[in-house]
């Protein structure tokens, strides 16, 4: 299975949970069941920018500043 980060968004209309793997600012995600938009267009743009910045940090090397015992 891929290790692609995703977010789960509940549909505001039918309350079904939808798994969104990536955001595109040009395409608003829709519910798989009722086809309602899951977010407003301006919210989608914010999520798309957040996803782009998150992806840019995923490939950075670890610096060893945290360990499993720091919890």
Coil vs helix vs strand at 56? helix
pLDDT at 45: 75
pLDDT at 10: 94
Residue 52, φ and ψ in degrees, nearest 5: -65, -45
Percent composition of the chain: helix, strand, coil (DSSP 3-state, to 5): 30, 15, 55
Q: What gap in Å lies between CA 10 and CA 65, rounded to an integer?
A: 35
pLDDT one digit per residue (tens) for the chain, 71 residues: 456 667 888 999 999 999 987 767 778 889 999 999 998 888 877 766 776 666 666 666 666 666 555 55
> 0.85 cut: is pTM over it?
no
Query: What was the pLDDT predicted at 31?
Result: 95
């Amino acid at each position: 299975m891929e290790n692609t980060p995703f977010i789960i968004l509940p549909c505001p209309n039918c309350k079904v949970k939808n798994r969104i793997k990536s955001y595109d600012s040009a395409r608003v995600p829709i519910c798989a069941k009722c086809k309602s938009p899951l977010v407003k267009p301006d919210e989608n743009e914010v999520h798309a920018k957040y996803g782009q910045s998150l992806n840019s940090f995923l490939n950075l090397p670890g610096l060893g500043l945290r360990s499993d015992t720091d919890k």
